[in-house]
Amino acid sequence: MFHDDISVIEKNPGVFEGTVTGNWSVNGNPNGGYLMAILASAIMKRSDKKFTPIMTANYIARCVPGKAVVVVEEISRSTQFNRYEARLIQDGKEKIRALGTFMLEKADCAIERYESGAPELAPVESCISMPELPHYTLFENLDMRIDPASAVWMQGQTAEKSEQKGWVKFRDGNSYDIFSLFLIADSIPPAIFVSQGPVSWVPTIELSTNIRNMPQTDRLKFILRTRFVTCGLLEADGELWDDAENLVSISRQIAQIRMI
């Protein structure tokens, strides 16, 4: 279903048509990572370089389920990198503008160095599943388990640090690719919930995601941290790891925090 939901058709050079579905929504709003996957899907149809993508999206206005147009423009091309701009338009209005950088597939890595590792998590069976909630279709399709240390917000409590961690996979066993990792990287509940409890809304202003490696395991580990909240803005730094301790993606999000 996911791959059908991000499919686009090129109607004119660089102009694609697709549909934003309601299958990957949070409180009725299409997930930002899902929308990024639609943009990446259009870019990938234009790029001959398809490895280690870096996508940065500015969310200008709220998207809704329905028809969408994606306009892709090549910015530059070199031996190693292709760079593109993509815009998602609904009802004649620009809703998202993104920059994407794609590189040649690596043949060898001269340096493979991790100065920190995957999060330490409780076993999957000891973690707490996201509850079924109206209009939260994202979690109908993702099996997400929150580590008990982070799940305090689901029980009316709070913790000292804004740190959300746990396990995630597709419920239907869908295999991972670049597009699905954009979705999953942005599927984690806001880390600020852990220290402040569920707030009304944490809308994304800007999201950057870099896919580093394809997962080698069915279930992924995640961690999302927020360290600074000032003047109604926060940052959220995320990591995805597979269960073999390989780094899958890193992300940085800037969002608003709205208490009412």
Same domain, yes or no, for 85 and 131?
A: no
The pLDDT value recorded for residue 111 is 82
- 86 and 162 together in one domain: no
In contact, 149 and 179? CB cutoff 8 Å: no
Mean pLDDT by 10 residues, the chain (260 residues): 95 97 93 97 93 94 97 94 97 98 77 92 96 88 96 94 97 90 96 89 94 94 97 96 96 89
Q: What is the pTM of this model?
A: 0.94
Considering its fold, how many domains does the chain have in total? 2
Residue showing tokens 């549909």: 19
Same domain, 204 and 245: yes
Whether 39 is covered by a domain: the verdict is: yes
Q: Mark whether 238 and 129 lie in a shared domain.
A: yes
Closest by alpha carbon to 65, among 90, 43, 94? 90
Q: Does residue 47 belong to any structural domain of this protein?
A: yes
Q: What is the pLDDT of residue 258?
A: 82
Burial status of residue 151 (CB atoms within 10 A of its CB: 0-12, 13-18, 19 or more): buried
48 and 137 share one domain: no
90 with 157, same domain: the answer is no
Under a CB-based contact definition with an 8 Å cutoff, are residues 203 and 144 in contact?
no
Query: Are 233 and 184 in the same domain?
Result: yes
Residue 98 counted as domain residue: yes
Domain containing 29 equals 2-103
pLDDT of residue 108: 64
Amino acid residing at 39: L
CATH number of the domain enclosing 32: 3.10.129.10
In this predicted structure, what is the pLDDT of residue 200?
Answer: 65
